[in-house]
């Protein structure tokens, strides 16, 4: 999963830090977060991907592997078998 940040202007215009290619916004969405005071905070998010598909695919793969690893660790902790 590409890096997700709360929306900041001009962030997507920064070049990719892996290959230097331009990046683009692949999707944007809003998230409603309830606040402690009973209100709702709306946060804007944007998912930014590299326009270089080779770079982006490699990055997606890396993130997927990282996610698998974290999931592994989590499961081991749950079952108490981690050492
Ligand atoms: Zn890139």
The pLDDT tens digits for 38-53 are 999 999 888 889 999 9
Q: What is the CA(45)–ligand 1 centre distance, in A?
A: 20
Q: Which helix H or strand E contains 24, and what residues bound it?
A: strand 23-34
Domain assignment of residue 83, yes or no: no
Q: What are the helix (H) ranges across the chain?
A: 53-79
Q: What is the CA(53)–ligand 1 centre distance, in A?
A: 8
Q: What is the CA(46)–ligand 1 centre distance, in A?
A: 17
Q: What is the CA(5)–ligand 1 centre distance, in A?
A: 17
The CA distance from 83 to 75, in Å, is 13
Q: What is the CA(59)–ligand 1 centre distance, in A?
A: 8
Please give the tally of structural domains in the chain: 1
* Tens of pLDDT, residues 53-80: 999 999 999 999 999 999 999 999 988 7
The CA distance from 56 to 2, in Å, is 8
- Considering the entire predicted model, what is its pTM? 0.59
Task: Residue 24: give the domain boundaries.
Answer: 4-75
In the predicted model, is pLDDT for residue 5 greater than 90?
no
The CA distance from 1 to 65, in Å, is 10
Domain assignment of residue 55, yes or no: yes
In the predicted model, is pLDDT for residue 8 greater than 50?
no
């Amino acid at each position: 999963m590409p890096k997700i940040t709360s929306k900041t202007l001009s962030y997507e215009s920064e070049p990719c830090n892996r290959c230097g290619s331009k990046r683009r916004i692949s999707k944007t969405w809003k998230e409603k977060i309830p606040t402690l005071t009973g209100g709702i905070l709306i946060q804007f998010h944007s998912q930014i991907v590299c326009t270089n598909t080779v770079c982006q695919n490699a990055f997606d793969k890396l993130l997927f592997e990282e996610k698998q690893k974290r999931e592994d660790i989590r499961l081991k902790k749950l079952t108490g078998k981690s050492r």
